[in-house]
């Protein structure tokens, strides 16, 4: 949904990334769909740089638990339990 008016040819930018350009004016409050967007050409995948965006860790949540495990490198995982 458009939060502001977008002019024809204007960038559509959710979460700080351009995902397309308006094919016609889009009024604030209107749905933004592929029918009203001109999608940018996809980049060549063979030469893409590695992701470089770093986020700061958020404050730990209090009163919640995590039914998983932490790996030595700090990433986490869960076990896939199948119940019959």
Residues 48-75 pLDDT 10s: 888 888 888 888 889 988 888 889 998 8
Distance CA 70, CA 39 (A): 39
- Please give the average per-residue pLDDT across 29-53, as a whole number: 88
The position carrying tokens 């990334």 is 17
- Domain coordinates of the chain in residue numbers? 1-41
Distance CA 77, CA 68 (A): 6
Could you please state the CATH topology (level 3) that the domain comprising 1-41 is classified under. Answer: 2.30.130
Confidence (pTM): 0.53
Output phi, psi for 38, to 5 deg.
Answer: -100, 115
Distance CA 28, CA 73 (A): 44
The answer to whether the beta carbons of residues 18 and 12 sit under 8 Å apart is yes
Output phi, psi for 42, to 5 deg.
Answer: -70, 150
């Amino acid at each position: 949904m458009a939060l502001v008016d977008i002019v024809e040819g204007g960038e559509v930018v959710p979460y700080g990334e351009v995902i397309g350009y308006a094919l016609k004016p889009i009024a604030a409050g209107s749905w933004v769909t592929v029918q009203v967007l001109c999608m940018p050409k996809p980049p060549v995948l063979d030469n893409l740089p590695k992701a470089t965006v770093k986020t700061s860790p958020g404050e730990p949540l209090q009163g919640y638990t995590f039914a998983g495990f932490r790996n030595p490198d700090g990433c986490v995982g869960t076990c896939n339990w199948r119940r019959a």
